[in-house]
């Protein structure tokens, strides 16, 4: 087919960081990066949060993890789904506490928790199940997975709060709502700072009118206050924020002292991760929905929709190095999915339309040139609501990816694209299943979809075991540390469960 190229030791003290409140940064000409204007770092501007009101920061230092617990966890979290490969699995180090090795079980209710025993989403009687399910994910609960750093589970919720929870006890360390907007990502953490991304799925009527006239529409523009918010990882104390015109729903990437993210007005941004000072902004056009960047070497890979392209940008300058699409890509699919990178290959998927049917096209390109290496149709079906794709994960030369079009997971050879197996998600539900990235750990593949978590044999896709946790898992990957899987739930819960409950063959 022709392609178109057109680990956070124990808790550190409070960081002496000064913040910069920055604007959206002037967009450069399409395909070029430019340094955005910015003044010297200044004290952080105040946020619209009443100090003693319901959105004020809550902090309980008694629930902080001990040094041994913290040392058994990763030190930082650079990408959505843990890393550029999207495999959020971390073995317990030698000498780790017994609870890390054996696993723990708890369920933490967030601000708008819906009973996990409820099979139907809130609003099902009003919207019907097919629409109510993704609506609850987008407006009330956890859209994506969680972050595990230093003995703490960090979570962003569409209830407008971010949470820090003790990974062993499930008790709240801090909670904060820096702005009245949805928090849809899984927080990235580096050098004692946690970064949140704020944005809404909405378009106001002015943007609808622009789109109807064939003009670019801005997702999230003038709907609420979008951008990135930096907090002290230990206390949740506000450090700085960087505002954007378009939504910033997707998780940023942080590496080498720089923070990368894309927005709903077609911009890709690079900030100084310590101060929030803009380093460059590149306008590529289109809309970033939930596509989080992957950084490998000195290249940033991210996808946007309308039009749908996968981009490679120079991480230092913001210059577009290449872009690629595939025929038939429609709607938000390309801008929903986060690309995965491994061994010089970028893997991506998107919803495509052929005639009157929809298909998920999974494809791989050269990370250096964007040259198409292979493309496969994952199977046809109806257009899924909301998030239109499955987040790919790469482990040991194999790609694992799902599709909500026909509710399957499949495995492919990274280099050749040879399909190894297909697994049909049972009881997928009216909104489809297969959006979240799988997690490979100690010879098993863990998948959270619907109300269940499954363990599969990664060699052939057969089911090894499963656990029913209730609620719904949207674009959620099981985050595994030692013997525990940690998950965010659309019913507005954060959950922890021992791997031995999911996989009867698992041995700590």
- Judged by DSSP in three states, 13 sits in coil
Q: Bridge partners of 153?
A: 148, 165
| Both tokens assigned to 178 | 């820096």
How many domains does the chain divide into? 1
Contact of 90 with 481, CB cutoff 8 Å: yes
pLDDT at 200: 83
Considering only CA atoms, which of 342, 475, 324 is closest in space to residue 398? Answer: 342
Domain assignment present for 177: yes
Domain assignment present for 342: yes
Domain assignment present for 159: yes
**Please, how many CA atoms are within 13 Å of residue 44, restricted to the half-sphere of its CB?**
22
| Both tokens assigned to 161 | 């709060």
- Of how many residues is the chain composed? 508
| Both tokens assigned to 128 | 């019907």
Q: Bridge partners of 267?
A: 283
Domain assignment present for 482: yes
Q: Which residue has the tokens 């979809």?
A: 449
**Ramachandran quadrant class, 451 (left: phi over 0; alpha: psi -120 to 50; beta: rest):** alpha
Domain assignment present for 507: no
DSSP 434: -
Contact of 238 with 178, CB cutoff 8 Å: yes
pLDDT in tens, the chain (508 residues): 333 333 333 333 322 322 322 333 433 333 445 444 333 345 566 898 998 999 999 999 999 999 999 999 999 999 999 999 999 999 999 999 999 999 999 999 999 999 999 999 999 999 998 888 888 888 889 999 999 999 999 999 999 999 999 999 999 999 999 998 999 999 999 999 999 999 988 777 787 788 788 888 788 787 889 999 999 999 999 999 999 999 999 999 999 999 999 999 999 999 999 999 999 999 999 999 999 999 999 999 999 998 899 999 999 999 999 999 988 888 777 889 999 999 999 999 999 887 778 999 999 999 999 999 999 999 999 888 888 899 999 999 999 999 999 999 999 999 999 999 999 999 998 889 999 999 999 999 999 999 999 999 999 999 999 999 999 999 999 999 999 999 999 999 999 999 999 999 999 9
Distance between CA atoms of residues 495 and 477, nearest Å: 12
* Residues of the domain holding 388: 33-502
Domain assignment present for 247: yes
Domain assignment present for 18: no
Sign of CA dihedral 389, 391, 394, 400: negative
Domain assignment present for 12: no
Q: Which residue has the tokens 């298909």?
A: 359
Residue 323: C-alpha distances to residues 73, 151, 217, 347, 475 (Å): 36, 39, 21, 14, 25
Q: What is the CATH number of the domain that holds 205?
A: 2.130.10.10
Considering only CA atoms, which of 60, 61, 55 is closest in space to residue 176? Answer: 55
Distance between CA atoms of residues 472 and 476, nearest Å: 9
| Both tokens assigned to 350 | 């998107």
Residue 464: C-alpha distances to residues 458, 472, 484 (Å): 10, 21, 17
Contact of 103 with 508, CB cutoff 8 Å: yes
What backbone torsions phi and psi does residue 101 show, to the nearest 5 degrees? -70, -45
Distance between CA atoms of residues 41 and 35, nearest Å: 16
pTM of structure: 0.91
């Amino acid at each position: 087919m022709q392609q178109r190229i057109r680990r956070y030791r124990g808790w550190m003290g409070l960081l002496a960081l000064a913040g910069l409140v920055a604007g959206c940064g002037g967009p450069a000409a399409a395909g070029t990066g430019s340094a955005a204007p910015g003044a010297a770092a200044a004290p952080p501007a105040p946020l619209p949060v009443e100090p003693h009101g319901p959105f004020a920061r809550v902090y309980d230092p008694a629930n902080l993890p001990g040094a041994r617990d913290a040392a058994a966890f990763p030190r930082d979290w650079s990408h959505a789904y843990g890393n550029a490969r999207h495999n959020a699995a971390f073995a317990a180090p030698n000498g780790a506490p017994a609870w890390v090795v054996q696993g723990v079980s708890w369920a933490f209710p967030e601000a708008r928790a819906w009973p996990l025993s409820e099979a139907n989403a809130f609003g099902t009687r009003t919207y019907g199940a097919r629409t109510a399910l993704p609506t609850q994910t987008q407006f009330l609960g956890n859209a994506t997975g969680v972050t595990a750093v230093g003995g703490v589970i960090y979570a962003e919720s569409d209830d407008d709060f971010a949470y820090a929870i003790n990974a062993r006890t499930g008790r709240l360390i801090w909670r904060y709502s820096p702005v009245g907007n949805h928090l849809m990502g899984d927080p990235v953490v580096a050098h004692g700072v946690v970064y949140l991304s704020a944005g809404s799925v909405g378009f106001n009527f002015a943007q609808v009118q622009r789109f109807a006239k064939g003009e670019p529409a801005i997702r999230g523009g003038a709907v609420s206050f979008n951008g990135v918010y930096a907090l002290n990882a230990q206390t949740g104390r506000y450090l700085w924020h960087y505002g954007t015109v378009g939504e910033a729903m997707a998780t940023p990437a942080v590496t080498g002292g720089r923070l990368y993210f894309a927005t709903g007005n077609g911009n890709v941004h690079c900030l100084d991760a310590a101060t929030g000072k803009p380093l460059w902004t590149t306008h590529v056009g289109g809309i970033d929905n939930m596509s989080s960047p992957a950084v490998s070497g000195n290249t940033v890979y991210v996808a946007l929709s309308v039009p749908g392209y996968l981009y490679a940008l120079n991480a230092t300058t913001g210059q577009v190095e290449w872009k690629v699409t595939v025929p038939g890509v429609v709607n938000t699919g390309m801008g929903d999915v986060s690309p995965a990178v491994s061994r010089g290959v970028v893997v991506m998927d998107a919803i495509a339309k052929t005639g009157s049917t929809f298909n998920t096209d999974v494809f791989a390109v050269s990370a250096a040139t964007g040259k198409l290496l292979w493309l496969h149709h994952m199977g046809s079906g109806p257009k899924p609501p909301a998030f239109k794709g499955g987040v790919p994960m790469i482990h040991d030369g194999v790609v694992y990816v799902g599709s909500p079009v026909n509710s399957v997971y499949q495995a492919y050879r990274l280099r050749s694209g040879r399909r190894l197996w297909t697994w049909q998600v049972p009881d997928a539900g009216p909104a489809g299943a297969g959006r979240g990235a799988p997690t490979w750990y100690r010879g098993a593949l863990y998948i959270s979809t619907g109300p269940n978590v499954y363990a599969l044999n990664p060699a052939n896709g057969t089911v090894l075991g499963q656990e029913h946790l209730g609620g719904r898992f949207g674009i959620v990957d099981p985050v595994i540390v030692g013997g525990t899987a940690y998950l965010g739930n659309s019913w507005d819960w954060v959950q922890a469960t021992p791997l031995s409950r999911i996989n009867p063959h698992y041995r700590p």
